[in-house]
Amino acid sequence: MISIRTDIRGADSVVSALLRRNLTYEMGKTIINNESVEVYNFSTLLTYQNPVKSNISVYVGAENDSLKILKNIYQIDYKVWNIEPDHCGTYPLIDPSIAKDKVENGEGSIVFVNYDSDEVQPYTPQEISRFLVTSVNITYYEGLLEQKYLQPVYLFGGQAELKNGKWADFHIYYPAINYAIVGDKIELEETPIEEGNGLFSF
C-alpha cells in the first residue's frame, strides 16, 4: 500500500530504507501526465487498536470439562469487513521528524505498554518516567469499528522506563496525513472519450 515512483529524486534511498525493514515490493506501472511511469508497490503493515494483535485472536487455556466444544480454547476474537480496493484520494504525509516532535509534546496516542510479556492480561495503568524510541514505521490503522478506508499512521516503538525502575515495551500512534491542508472532496469530471477507427483515443 506504499507506491514509490521510480522517476522521483531519492526513490532509491526510500526503497532501500523500506527493504531494510523487511517490506517487500512488486514492480508496477501508473499513468502520470499521460505517461507510463514504473512504480515500486510495497506491501506494508496493518496495525490495530492493540498493535501486537491482529483482527483474529485465539486464546488457549487449560482444559475445561464444562464446555461441550473447544474445551482447550476459551476465547476467539474475529473481526473482518471489506475495504474498497480503490484509493479514496492522494494526501501528503507529514514528515516523520514532525510526527516525532508531536509525540514528544504528548500529542501521540499510547496504545500499548507491556512490562511482563503477558499480552492477554488486561492493561494496568503505569507511571512512566521516559520513553526510548527505537523504531518508527508507517502503517495503516484498522480499528474495532467498520471503516471505509484505512488511515496511515506512524507507529513509534521502543522501551519505556517505569517509575518503579522496570522497563516496558511500548507503541505510540500518530496520524501520518497532514490534515491541516486536507480539504473537502472534489469530484473530477470524467475525461471525454472519442471513438475512431475501432480504437479509443483520449
pLDDT tens-digit map of 32-54: 778 888 888 877 777 777 776 66
What is the per-residue pLDDT for 202?
34
Tens digit of pLDDT at every position of the chain (202 positions): 677 888 888 888 878 877 877 778 889 888 877 888 888 887 777 777 777 666 677 777 666 666 666 566 667 776 666 666 555 666 778 888 889 899 988 888 888 888 776 666 666 778 888 889 888 888 888 777 777 777 889 999 999 999 888 898 889 999 998 877 776 665 656 655 444 444 433 3
In the chain, where are the structural domains located? Answer: 1-43, 85-183
**C-alpha distances in angstroms, 84 versus 13, 87, 178?**
30, 8, 22
Which residues lie closer than 8 Å to 115 by C-beta, 6 or more apart?
Answer: 126, 162, 166, 167, 168, 169
DSSP three-state, residue 124: coil
> What's the pTM?
0.62
Query: 117 and 148 in contact (C-beta within 8 Å)?
Result: no
Strands (E) in the chain, as ranges, are: 2-5, 25-32, 35-42, 45-47, 56-60, 73-78, 109-114, 128-141, 151-162, 167-175, 194-196, 199-201
What is the per-residue pLDDT for 198?
40
In the numeric block, which cell numbers belong to residue 22?
Answer: 523487511
C-beta neighbour count of 182 within 10 angstroms: 11
Q: How many residues does the chain have?
A: 202
**C-alpha distances in angstroms, 59 versus 47, 65, 69, 72, 169?**
19, 17, 14, 9, 21
C-beta neighbour count of 85 within 10 angstroms: 5
